[in-house]
Amino acid sequence: MNFYKELELILEAQNPQDKLTMFEHFYTQYKLSNVVFEENFEPKEFSEPSYSSVCKVIAPQKVPKRSNLTVAEGQVNLLHAIAHIEYSAIDLALDAAYRFVGLPKEYYSDWLEVADDEIRHFKMLEEILHTLGARYGDIEVHNALFEASQRTQTLVERMAVVPRYLEANGLDATPMILTKLRKLPKSEMITQIIKTLEIILDEEIDHVKKGDVWFNYACAQEGLSQDVYFEIIAKYYPQGFLRPKNLNTEARKEAGFSCKELNFMAQKQIC
Ligand SMILES: [Fe+2]
Ligand SMILES: [Fe+2]
């Protein structure tokens, strides 16, 4: 089995079930060292996200708001939005492994491990959606994560933007959702959603950490200072950091952010 070609097929798979089954088989073979890295592989550029035949893609500001979380409709909206982030994250992790050729073996192992985590996260959320009588694809979605991957075609930029900005934003956002959920009247469903989001939050720290490792690696390879991170973020996200008042300092530190970076993001001394 060829590494890049097989990843390309998995990335292009439009049916979620097919994608997950193909990955499971590929990852088993990879761990058994039955996968060969092709030499001189030219990765494709993808013009559309793989989910565009499953989900209707709309502008981010038009995506349904996370409304009343005590009723099934609000719960489905929230779970679907997070399931979509996880599903997008599967492709982002696979694309990180597919697109950047000739890196150390650990690089590929790291992103395949992340893809495996994202699949598990997606499945956990999908299962709750099923309990609520809904499924992935029922609600309109945005393609902001796919666009971020399309725009960042160098390793330095990709690692800065995807794990170290977008996934790190999730470390700040999830505790805020959890706080909201914990204030609601207790129910089996709310408890299950809280438990699932806690697992996801904990495991996402490692994804950001892996991004940090490979961002630093790419900076060293290119002879760049790690401060280039803020230049890259300013270039792609002129609005800056989304929740400067609610930075998850502990999780971000664990994921490799320095106090200097955290203080800069918060625009005050927090670390
Ligand atoms: Fe995830
Ligand atoms: Fe992740």
Per-residue pLDDT tens digits of the chain, which is 271 residues long? 999 999 999 999 999 999 999 999 999 999 999 999 999 999 999 999 999 999 999 998 888 776 799 999 999 999 999 999 999 999 999 999 999 999 999 999 999 999 999 999 999 999 999 999 999 999 999 999 999 999 999 999 999 999 999 999 999 999 999 999 999 999 999 999 999 999 999 999 999 999 999 999 999 999 999 999 999 999 999 988 888 889 999 999 999 999 999 999 999 999 9
Residues near ion ligand 1 (Cβ under 5 Å): 86, 118, 121
Helix axes 105-131, 72-99, angle to 10 degrees: 160
Tell me the CA–centroid distance for residue 264 and ligand 2, in Å. Answer: 24
Q: Which ligand lies nearest the alpha carbon of 209?
A: 2
3-state SS class at 163: helix
Give the dihedral of Cα atoms 171, 28, 101, 255; nearest 10 deg.
20
Which bound ligand lies closest to the C-alpha atom of 82?
1
User: For residue 111, how far is its CA from the centre of ligand 1 (angstroms)?
Assistant: 12
Instruction: Please state, as a whole number, how many other Cβ atoms lie within 10 Å of the Cβ of residue 140.
Output: 15
Alpha-carbon separation of residue 76 from 64, 66, 84, 230 (angstroms): 11, 9, 12, 35
Q: Structure pTM?
A: 0.97
How far apart are the CA of 42 and the centre of ligand 1, in A? 28
Q: What is the pLDDT of residue 257?
A: 98
**DSSP-H helix ranges across 100-138:** 105-131
> How high is the pLDDT of residue 66?
64
Is residue 180 within 8 Å of residue 95, measured between CB atoms?
no
